[in-house]
Chains A and B, each alone.
Chain A
């Protein structure tokens, strides 16, 4: 273990007994870095040979990128680092599992501090040398092929630090597992438990909330692990490796690395403490500390039992009785298995029934808390004086958002960063009303509303309520919310993002078929007009009206930002008209070649239970297909009837009632449009209407109750 009197002499002596770990560590790193570098660069060269790259500069950039992928932030390296940390950590201190070795090392005059430090430092040194060797080899290989520049070196340096922090956490975690156990099998199991426990618990909590809480939604806040370094790594590596440069990668990676260092320091302290306290006589036992045996058993049994229960629950098509039975059976079996492992004796299966009972009671208690919402999760609406601000997302509107680095971000992220409703009363009233509301299934238009409460205490809580958009009281409250500036800024990036006008490469307006291009220099004028019109924006506007078109800014980065235009947006429409780009939704029959109306006859297929006498579909089918009644099934029978109209006067009667499906109508009423019909409009080839020539036809819907009688008759189901 330790030999020479000096610390470094002891380290040298210790290395002699860790030769195989040295070989594994160095070889693995050389193979990974060297191999990845060669493979990635060779691939780029192959692409170049095939003519994938336009010029030498592009090829060079691709080579640099390949070197970065191999030597900097890579999603291939962390499994190797993780396994190395586990092997080095376990091997260094595994002498504690062998009484003969313990008798030797603990009887010689070497202090615990020195013994621990020698083994610990040697393990760390082993990783550093192995990792650096691999990196240097990769660098040399890349440099020889001209694929190294400052950026590659900088990112490789950052990744080295990031991987070192990652290594330290798992190295310490494994050492801690060794200190708490007495043999390799249990050590490996405890290491896995440590590494995955928080993830298991947060997944369990999230799953239970999803199963039993009506107001739970992961939209704003998700139960994600806070201390799970593996989760951090996996969730962030892709984004970090795709950062444009080393500085951007550092901004994202280094805070995480700092967090990991914090965790590693705490773990190291625990390791050293446990090493000092570990009784030598526990060599070979399953767990080194007797008091930990029930603790580990109960702590592990709960998520494992839930996992088993959840599998049974899903397999049994969500049978709650079987969920409970599965959890109890899983918990029971797990506790029995743990006892067998603790004693290496199958007869221990029924040992320590009290701790097994505690685990089962714990499992049941957790189930009951969620099943019957014992802590009032669904009833939670904070007092107004405790809320600092709110973000809200009412179902019905979707858009693309970009962050400061021009990276795409999700809507919920944008809302969380930009929506701060300080007038909280309408949201709280909406949440209170949702509590009192009846069965959502009976609502006219049942929609989800996500709410993020930012509390004065600094905590955040999120809930998802269900409201009826057709309820006048709901509409009134949503109107109050929608017309707040803070709400609009949190939903419409166009109202706040000053860089919106930078880099615009194209502007166009569309009503569906028509697409009119607008000069880019008019972007500011158009945006100002739209922003002015948005002052009148509220829920009623978007609920009872559909946009007549939209204009969009396209950027050099191929991203796009879209702005909806309503009939009441006078300033925008006026500007568009000035620019000769405005086309109303209603088309002129003179431009139309044909209109094909398809009726699905949902009324015939929506009642599959009534397959026999009395069902109109059945009657019609029977009449049309005599003798085939035994094969008839309302659900699978095609009732679709299509009719194409060519006459201008017929088309003229249809066109006023059409709405182009290519224009989104957020928050609008679904049933405003008749879902029984779809329409295809074909323009005349020689029409001067600026429709998109790439398309042969355009999809439309008909407003409910506005289908002309002759269309109804022409698309009636006749059984043929």
Chain B
């Protein structure tokens, strides 16, 4: 488990990370979402032990990570622009990492290289941006660390590759309890991969929740009420996060379980009602709008 407590980092006058507290559980895919400059990379770099927090702590399996070799042995950090040695090929990088990470699986690495159509003898400098990210991910996966920290690593990967990596993640999570931490500025990139999401904004955490919990606790209802009294009766006591009215059609987002909403609407006279599934994007819009933020501006662009 990675425990981040009151993490703060300033770069001169800028408070890049401001009292962030998040817990990343094992065997989950943790998504760290935020706009450019929200502090995602800084948080990841502090988790990786690259930079030292000004305040707060990062503990990896109860070990402080900064300048701690034992803690770092459990982490593999893929930066937003991963660095490869000059004139190196995949083999060169494998030799480097296999020397550093004791559990590095060379056989698996070359198997994956073949699977992903990456030439082990080709200079990495001639790789596309996406190929470099694939290679970095494969190096990270094959290092067999408990945690893999990916900074914007999935951005730009084509859907097939994303699916391939997802499958590997799933396999590794099941086989050895891999815990990927994925930072991205694009919510849609993480929707289908993360179990838990933390939303960073202006250095602080806006929310941090399990996706499943969020999906279960927020419902969107489209309905046409027969009259105003029934509408008031149906909505009375519900935590309404958002309500839109187009003619007689109401679209209401409420914090409640599906069962509770259906039970409530069944007791009132409606011409039409339907409980609709929410996308991750919609959940975030609802959650952050409650907090006074317009997530469309923050993440979706």
Residues of chain A at the chain B interface (Cβ within 8 Å): 2-5, 9-10, 13, 17, 98-104, 106-112, 279-281, 290
Among the listed A100, A107, A281, which residue makes an inter-chain contact with B48, where contact means beta carbons less than 8 Å apart?
A107
Top 6 A-B pairs ranked by shortest CB distance? A3-B99, A100-B83, A107-B77, A109-B72, A103-B79, A107-B48
Among the listed B69, B99, B101, which residue makes an inter-chain contact with A111, where contact means beta carbons less than 8 Å apart?
B69
Q: Which residues of B contact A100 (CB under 8 A)?
A: 79, 81-83
Q: Report how far A111 CA is from B49 CA in the complex, Å.
A: 11
Beta-carbon contact of B96 and A280 below 8 Å: no
- Please name the residue on chain A nearest to B16 by beta carbon: A281
| 25 A-B pairs with C-beta separation under 8 A | A2-B100, A3-B99, A5-B102, A9-B99, A17-B85, A100-B82, A100-B83, A103-B45, A104-B83, A106-B50, A107-B45, A107-B72, A107-B76, A108-B100, A109-B72, A109-B75, A109-B100, A110-B69, A111-B69, A279-B51, A279-B52, A280-B45, A280-B51, A281-B45, A290-B12
Among the listed A3, A9, A106, A290, which residue makes an inter-chain contact with B49, where contact means beta carbons less than 8 Å apart?
A106
- Please name the residue on chain A nearest to B48 by beta carbon: A107
Binary interface encoding of chain B residues 61-78 relative to chain A, with 1 for a CB under 8 A from any of its CBs, else 0: 000000101101101110
Q: Which residues of B contact A3 (CB under 8 A)?
A: 95-96, 99-100
B86 at the interface (CB under 8 A from A): yes
Q: Which residues of A contact B51 (CB under 8 A)?
A: 279-281
6 additional A-B residue pairs with CB within 8 Å, beyond A4-B99, A5-B99, A104-B83: A3-B95, A17-B85, A100-B79, A101-B83, A103-B83, A107-B72
Kindly name the residue among B86, B95, B96 whose own CB sees the greatest number of chain A CB atoms within 10 A.
B96
**Given A109-B72, A110-B69, A290-B12: A13 in contact with B99 (beta carbons within 8 A):** yes
Binary interface encoding of chain B residues 83-99 relative to chain A, with 1 for a CB under 8 A from any of its CBs, else 0: 10110000000011101
Interface residues of B in 1-33 (CB under 8 A from A): 11-12
Q: Report how far A498 CA is from B45 CA in the complex, Å.
A: 76
Question: How many whole Å from B142's CB to the nearest CB in chain A?
Answer: 14
Beta-carbon contact of B83 and A112 below 8 Å: no
Question: How many whole Å from B183's CB to the nearest CB in chain A?
Answer: 13
Beta-carbon contact of A104 and B69 below 8 Å: no
Q: Report how far A351 CA is from B52 CA in the complex, Å.
A: 28
Beta-carbon contact of B86 and A17 below 8 Å: yes
Q: Which residues of A contact B79 (CB under 8 A)?
A: 99-100, 103-104, 107
B: interface residue count bin: 20 to 34
Beta-carbon contact of A112 and B67 below 8 Å: yes
Q: Which residues of B contact A2 (CB under 8 A)?
A: 100
Kindly name the residue among A5, A13, A281, A290 whose own CB sees the greatest number of chain B CB atoms within 10 A.
A281
Q: Report how far A460 CA is from B109 CA in the complex, Å.
A: 72
Q: Which residues of A contact B67 (CB under 8 A)?
A: 111-112
Q: Report how far A107 CA is from B101 CA in the complex, Å.
A: 12
Interface residues of B in 96-112 (CB under 8 A from A): 96-97, 99-102
Q: Which residues of B contact A101 (CB under 8 A)?
A: 83
Q: Report how far A9 CA is from B69 CA in the complex, Å.
A: 18
Question: How many whole Å from B213's CB to the nearest CB in chain A?
Answer: 31
Q: Which residues of A contact B99 (CB under 8 A)?
A: 3-5, 9-10, 13
Question: How many whole Å from B8's CB to the nearest CB in chain A?
Answer: 14
Q: Report how far A13 CA is from B86 CA in the complex, Å.
A: 14
Beta-carbon contact of B96 and A13 below 8 Å: yes
Q: Which residues of B contact A102 (CB under 8 A)?
A: 50
Q: Report how far A108 CA is from B82 CA in the complex, Å.
A: 13
Question: How many whole Å from B11's CB to the nearest CB in chain A?
Answer: 6
Kindly name the residue among A13, A108, A110 whose own CB sees the greatest number of chain B CB atoms within 10 A.
A108
- Please name the residue on chain A nearest to B102 by beta carbon: A5
Q: Report how far A110 CA is from B102 CA in the complex, Å.
A: 12
Q: Which residues of A contact B75 (CB under 8 A)?
A: 107, 109
**Given A100-B83, A104-B82: A110 in contact with B100 (beta carbons within 8 A):** yes
Q: Report how far A99 CA is from B48 CA in the complex, Å.
A: 14
Question: How many whole Å from B61's CB to the nearest CB in chain A?
Answer: 13
Beta-carbon contact of A107 and B81 below 8 Å: no
Q: Which residues of A contact B69 (CB under 8 A)?
A: 109-111
Q: Which residues of B contact A109 (CB under 8 A)?
A: 69-70, 72-73, 75, 100-101
Beta-carbon contact of B83 and A108 below 8 Å: no
Q: Report how far A281 CA is from B95 CA in the complex, Å.
A: 27
Q: Which residues of A contact B96 (CB under 8 A)?
A: 3, 13
Among the listed A10, A13, A103, A110, which residue makes an inter-chain contact with B77, where contact means beta carbons less than 8 Å apart?
A103
- Please name the residue on chain B nearest to A108 by beta carbon: B100
- Please name the residue on chain A nearest to B149 by beta carbon: A107
Q: Report how far A9 CA is from B99 CA in the complex, Å.
A: 9
Q: Which residues of B contact A4 (CB under 8 A)?
A: 99
Q: Report how far A17 CA is from B87 CA in the complex, Å.
A: 10
Q: Report how far A112 CA is from B72 CA in the complex, Å.
A: 12
Question: How many whole Å from A97's CB to the nearest CB in chain B?
Answer: 13
Kindly name the residue among B51, B99, B101 whose own CB sees the greatest number of chain A CB atoms within 10 A.
B99
Q: Report how far A106 CA is from B44 CA in the complex, Å.
A: 13
- Please name the residue on chain B nearest to A102 by beta carbon: B50
- Please name the residue on chain B nearest to A277 by beta carbon: B52
Q: Report how far A94 CA is from B86 CA in the complex, Å.
A: 14
Question: How many whole Å from A684's CB to the nearest CB in chain B?
Answer: 90
Question: How many whole Å from A293's CB to the nearest CB in chain B?
Answer: 11
Question: How many whole Å from B205's CB to the nearest CB in chain A?
Answer: 21
Q: Report how far A13 CA is from B92 CA in the complex, Å.
A: 10
- Please name the residue on chain A nearest to B45 by beta carbon: A103
- Please name the residue on chain A nearest to B49 by beta carbon: A107
Q: Report how far A440 CA is from B69 CA in the complex, Å.
A: 74
Q: Report how far A135 CA is from B110 CA in the complex, Å.
A: 46
Q: Which residues of A contact B76 (CB under 8 A)?
A: 107
Q: Which residues of A contact B77 (CB under 8 A)?
A: 103, 107
Q: Report how far A112 CA is from B81 CA in the complex, Å.
A: 23
Q: Which residues of A contact B72 (CB under 8 A)?
A: 107-109
Kindly name the residue among B52, B77, B83 whose own CB sees the greatest number of chain A CB atoms within 10 A.
B83
Question: How many whole Å from B214's CB to the nearest CB in chain A?
Answer: 31
Q: Report how far A109 CA is from B146 CA in the complex, Å.
A: 13
Q: Which residues of A contact B85 (CB under 8 A)?
A: 17
Question: How many whole Å from A235's CB to the nearest CB in chain B?
Answer: 41
Q: Report how far A111 CA is from B67 CA in the complex, Å.
A: 7
Q: Which residues of A contact B12 (CB under 8 A)?
A: 290
Q: Which residues of A contact B81 (CB under 8 A)?
A: 100
Q: Which residues of B contact A106 (CB under 8 A)?
A: 48-50
- Please name the residue on chain B nearest to A111 by beta carbon: B69
Interface residues of B in 36-69 (CB under 8 A from A): 45, 48-52, 67, 69
Kindly name the residue among A13, A17, A100, A107 whose own CB sees the greatest number of chain B CB atoms within 10 A.
A107
Q: Report how far A99 CA is from B69 CA in the complex, Å.
A: 20
Q: Report how far A2 CA is from B101 CA in the complex, Å.
A: 11
- Please name the residue on chain B nearest to A4 by beta carbon: B99
Q: Which residues of B contact A13 (CB under 8 A)?
A: 95-96, 99
Q: Which residues of B contact A17 (CB under 8 A)?
A: 85-86
Q: Which residues of B contact A111 (CB under 8 A)?
A: 67, 69
Q: Report how far A279 CA is from B53 CA in the complex, Å.
A: 10
- Please name the residue on chain A nearest to B143 by beta carbon: A108
Q: Which residues of B contact A110 (CB under 8 A)?
A: 69, 100
- Please name the residue on chain A nearest to B47 by beta carbon: A107
Q: Report how far A593 CA is from B36 CA in the complex, Å.
A: 106
Question: How many whole Å from A93's CB to the nearest CB in chain B?
Answer: 16
Q: Report how far A407 CA is from B219 CA in the complex, Å.
A: 100
Question: How many whole Å from B274's CB to the nearest CB in chain A?
Answer: 48
Q: Which residues of A contact B101 (CB under 8 A)?
A: 108-109
Q: Which residues of A contact B100 (CB under 8 A)?
A: 2-3, 5, 108-110
Q: Report how far A2 CA is from B102 CA in the complex, Å.
A: 14
